[in-house]
Structure 1
């Protein structure tokens, strides 16, 4: 039976690298895959890129993309062994359920990779649904500057100071976000005292 997987972590924990490795493993065995990434991330230009230099072409999804229909159209042409979704935190609830349907009704495993929480420590909508319905949850480990497991994503300004307010989504990399353990995240945003 195919399953819906959610691989989640803080930023800089290797989510895209892990996805690209899984894609390589399928393709090395002669199996077809379909890769998706968020159109919202304008840096990607239709590619999934890892910080260590790996990359692959991917289909881009927006909130209006019907992942069920588009994936099945491809599956009708070339039998898919797996669907891999990067930046899964940006999926809508409807799209997460479409991914679940691909696993349940079409028998195609779906591997989603994304952030669990935003820069305030709040769940992303797509991540919340994935945490609720995925068959398997896998935490990938990032590292805080103190050596503890990084679970939080701190947004910083140009001077490196913590940003405490703003839109949930702001595209950026190391120049805008720092992965921290909960203790150092709490201290940085002023939640250490409760």
Structure 2
């Protein structure tokens, strides 16, 4: 029975490289995968890219993308063995349910990778939906500068100071975000 998986972590925990490793494993065995990433993340330009240099072409979704329809249509042409979704925090609740339907009705395993929370410790809509309905939840471990598990994503300005307010989504990498344990996240916000 196919399942809906959610692999979540803070920034810099290896989510994209884990996705690309899974893709490689499927393809090495002659199986067909379909990769998706958020069009919102303009750094990737249609690619799933990891910080360690791995990358692969992917489809890009926007909030209006019907993932059920897109994947089901491709599956009718040539069977798909697994759907892999990067930046899953940017999925809509409806898209998460579409992915669950792919798993339940089409029998295609769906593996999503994304952040759990934003720079203020709030759940992203896609992550909230996945935490609620995924068959299996897997936390990947990021590391804070103190050595503890990083669970928070601190947004920083050009001077490295904590940003406390703003839009939930602002695309950036190590120049804009720092993965921290909760203790150091709270300390950084306090000033």
Matches within 5 A, 1:24-173: 24-173=24-173
Moved >2 Å (runs of 4+): none
CA shift for structure 1 position 37: 0.1
Instruction: Provide the C-alpha distance between the structure 1 equivalents of 2:188 and 2:123, rounded to a whole number of angstroms.
Output: 19
Matches within 5 A, 1:180-191: 180-190=180-190
CA shift for structure 1 position 189: 1.0
CA shift for structure 1 position 190: 2.1
Match of 1:3 in 2: 3
Instruction: Provide the C-alpha distance between the structure 2 equivalents of 1:109 and 1:28, rounded to a whole number of angstroms.
Output: 17
**For 1:91-137, what per-residue CA distance to the aligned partner results, in whole angstroms no more than 9, with x for missing partners?**
00000000000000000000000000000000000000000000000
Count how many residue pairs are aligned between Structure 1 and Structure 2.
191
Instruction: Provide the C-alpha distance between the structure 2 equivalents of 1:108 and 1:42, rounded to a whole number of angstroms.
Output: 28
Give the SS at the match of 1:80: coil
RMSD of aligned Cα (Å)? 0.8
**For 1:143-170, what per-residue CA distance to the aligned partner results, in whole angstroms no more than 9, with x for missing partners?**
0000000000000000000000000000
Give the SS at the match of 1:34: strand
* TM-score relative to the length of structure 2: 0.99
* TM-score relative to the length of structure 1: 0.98
**Unpaired runs of at least 5, structure 2:** none
Give the SS at the match of 2:34: strand
Instruction: Provide the C-alpha distance between the structure 1 equivalents of 2:187 and 2:26, rounded to a whole number of angstroms.
Output: 42
Match of 1:23 in 2: 23
